[in-house]
Amino acid sequence: MAVILGETPALTKPKLTGPIALPPREVVYEIEQFLFREARLLEEERYDEWLGIMTEDIHYWMPGIQARYRKDKAPRFSHSRMAHFDDDLLNLRRRVTRSLHETAWAEDPPTRTLYMVSNIEVEPIERTDEFNVHSVVLNVRGRNETEEDWLMARRKDRLRRLGDGSFRLARREIYITQAVILAKNLNIFL
């Protein structure tokens, strides 16, 4: 929001929005259950099933965060800069295979994870078989005896409904709050 010197944003006329297009309540409930089940699959390390809820053309992206001053007009997130994850289905499969391999010493003993998914908002889009889904996720990881890491993120997903009525994850963008990740590794999926 541009502010003119001497003008107080609180006194400017607010931007009015039109009515929000809401999907049917049943669809919202289905999508919420899809996201909750996905979290449980990850917590229980049921990665084959988790990979099964992806589309063949999945794009799974978590950009690096840059702390920028407001006067810096460069975007905070960009596909042209570093990303923690920039994966298709093959790379997601590779990451799962790597984390379960006996030489993955960072995962032996395995990390204990807990996910909380909330603030789910479903936006219908022009393609009737797809929905934009916004959510917030909190991931808590316990490792070894005393290590504990927390990651919080806002997610923007694209869910696609298949002919059999089930949903698949076609795209996920993950925007974490931390500019510097203090965890020793990122052996997780958000």
Catalogue all structural domains in the chain, each as residue range(s) with its CATH number: 23-66+81-176 (3.10.450.50)
Q: Which residues contact 80 (CB under 8 A, 6 or more apart)?
A: none
Beta-carbon contacts of 53 under 8 Å, excluding residues fewer than 6 positions away, are 34, 38, 41, 167, 168, 169
In this prediction, residue 11 carries a pLDDT of 65
What confidence score (pLDDT) does residue 9 get?
63
- 109: pLDDT confidence band, cut at 50, 70 and 90? confident
Peptide linkage before 9 cis (omega within 30 of 0): no
Q: What is the DSSP letter of 174?
A: E
pLDDT band at 128 (very low <50, low <70, confident <90, very high): confident
Q: What's this model's pTM, rounded to 2 decimal places?
A: 0.85
pLDDT of residue 68: 78
**Distance of alpha carbon 20 from the chain centroid:** 23
Confidence of residue 77 (pLDDT cuts 50, 70, 90): confident
Peptide bond preceding 109 in cis form (omega within 30 of 0)? yes
Residue 55, amino acid: T
pLDDT score of 123: 93
Predicted local distance difference test score (pLDDT) of residue 4: 57
What pLDDT score does 154 carry? 97
Residues 115-125, mean pLDDT to the nearest whole number = 95
pLDDT-derived band at 29 (thresholds 50, 70, 90) equals: very high
pLDDT in tens, 166-176: 999 999 999 99
- Which residues, other chains included, contact 140 with Cβ-Cβ below 8 Å and sequence gap of 6+? 113, 114, 148, 149, 150
For range 91-116, the mean pLDDT: 86
Residue range 23-34: mean pLDDT, rounded = 95
Does the pLDDT value for residue 41 go beyond 60? yes
Per residue in 148-170, pLDDT (tens digit) is 888 999 999 999 999 999 999 99
**Residue 7 — pLDDT band, cuts 50, 70, 90?**
low
